């Protein structure tokens, strides 16, 4: 593998695209007033962006590398794309929840409480759920959960797609 391509540019380019696309989707949801109770199609669009850009980035790397890519290279690129996008989304979420919509968490909790009531939960059960939820609302914990979630998702997507796309020079002989 003497003509090895540097994977950093593929990670950075696709990670920024995925992060910015995710932020734009969130801003559209906020602008349309659907950020508190989004339609299921929003999750579908978000997942398609996530999966598509990770696969696109690893595929472009493989093409630039003469049609060769090991499983490990593919996973590294996919997880890198996901973590960079996760960092961008975490920064946006921090800005959103502290400056754009400071009441977001309390509004979200009110909607969730109403859903709990509709399901027949008691006031004590709802209060216990709220207390547990509040323990995860610190910025540090939310950032860590966000980045870890993106990293795990990126690993799953890239592990599967890289297993399918991998082609090493050794396999060519």
Q: Is residue 1 part of a domain?
A: no
Distances (CA, A) of 101 to 42, 68, 92, 131: 20, 46, 12, 22
Q: Is residue 150 part of a domain?
A: yes
Nearest to 17 by CA among 88, 112, 116: 88
Q: Is residue 3 part of a domain?
A: no
Q: Is residue 2 part of a domain?
A: no
pLDDT tens string, the chain, 173 residues long: the values are 445 789 999 999 999 999 999 999 999 999 999 998 899 999 999 999 999 999 999 999 999 999 999 999 999 999 999 999 999 999 999 999 999 999 998 898 999 899 899 999 989 998 888 888 888 888 889 999 999 999 999 999 999 999 999 988 777 66
pTM above 0.85, yes or no: yes
Q: Domain of 94?
A: 8-172
């Amino acid at each position: 593998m003497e003509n090895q391509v540097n994977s950093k540019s593929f990670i950075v380019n696709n990670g920024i695209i995925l992060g910015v696309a995710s932020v734009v989707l969130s801003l559209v949801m906020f602008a349309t007033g659907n950020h508190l109770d989004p339609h299921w199609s929003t999750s579908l669009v978000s997942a398609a962006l996530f999966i598509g850009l990770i696969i696109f980035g690893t595929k472009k790397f493989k093409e630039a590398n003469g049609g060769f890519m090991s499983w490990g290279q593919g996973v590294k690129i996919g997880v890198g794309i996901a973590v960079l996008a996760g960092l961008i989304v975490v920064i946006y979420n921090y800005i959103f929840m502290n400056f754009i919509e400071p009441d977001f968490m309390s509004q979200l909790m009110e909607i969730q409480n109403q859903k709990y009531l509709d399901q027949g939960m008691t006031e004590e059960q709802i209060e216990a759920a709220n207390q547990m939820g509040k323990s995860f609302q610190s910025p540090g914990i939310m950032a860590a959960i966000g980045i870890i979630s993106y990293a795990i998702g990126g690993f799953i997507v890239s592990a599967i797609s890289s297993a399918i796309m991998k082609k090493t020079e050794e396999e060519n002989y």
